[in-house]
Structure 1
Amino acid sequence: MKKLILTVAILASGVSTFALSNNILPVETTSVVMNEEFKEIAIDKLPAAVTNAVEKDFASATINKAYVNSSEQYKLELTIDGSTSTVYADKDGNWLEESAVTGA
């Protein structure tokens, strides 16, 4: 009889653990990268190599804004066929990956 009561008690406690509410909410991580390394410059202050690279590789693009950092890397906001894109270049007009840009 003791085994029967013990078995029922164990089963009842096992079932009651499923009745507990699980209030664990999924965690959403939002990363905000503040980029204060780049300073906005006038488009006419861009080096000729950078503007030539844009004309060569993005013939239909318009430069909206230009930024420069202390390493003389340029961040350009381009409008290409109605869509806006951001590209990076060095002072010699070579394209850079965003991960390779200092301060990006």
Structure 2
Amino acid sequence: MKKLILSAAIVLGSLSIYATTTANTEQVKNTVNFQSEYTEIKTDDVPAAVKTALETAYPGAKLEKAYINEKKEYKLDIAVGDQKATVYSDANGNWLKI
């Protein structure tokens, strides 16, 4: 009788292992709309504050192309050595994270 009770407890215990709750896994898609309406300008038209911030943050960086949008935010294509990057700045030389 003890073996019957023991085996029933083992069977019921092993069945409870499979009784798990499933988490509701809905995929959430976040989209960030940033203004992509940049128009190319001459590198000489970039304000001095932006050029100074560029020299301070990236010594030896060469400004290859510059773009501006209607909010007076600048998109700068730069080259530092053999590496190229795109950085964003406002008219005061503050860096933007986009």
What TM-score, normalized to structure 2? Answer: 0.63
Alignment root-mean-square deviation, CA = 1.5
CA–CA distance in structure 2, aligned partners of residues 55 and 36 of structure 1: 25
Could you give the per-residue CA deviations for residues 14-45 of structure 1, whole angstroms, max 9, x where no partner exists? xxxxxxxxxxxxxxxxxxx9x75000000000
Structure 2 residue matching 1:59: 3-state secondary structure: coil
Matches within 5 A, 1:11-22: none
Partner deviation per Cα, 1:31-79 (whole Å, 9 max, x = no partner): xx9x750000000000110000011111111000000000000000000
How far, CA to CA, are the matches of 1:61 and 1:36 in structure 2? 24
Q: Which runs of 5+ in 2 are unaligned?
A: 1-32
Give secondary structure in 2 for the equivalent of 1:71. coil
Counterparts of residues 39-58 of structure 1 (less than 5 Å): 39-58=39-58
Structure 1 runs of 4+ with >2 Å offset:
none
C-alpha deviation, 1:81, in angstroms: 1.6
Structure 1, unpaired ranges of 5+: 1-32, 99-104
Q: Tell me what 1:77 maps to.
A: 77
| Bigger fraction of residues in helix | 1
Aligned residues: 65
| 2:91 aligned partner, one-letter code | K
What CA distance in whole angstroms lies between the structure 1 residues aligned with 2:59 and 2:46? 17
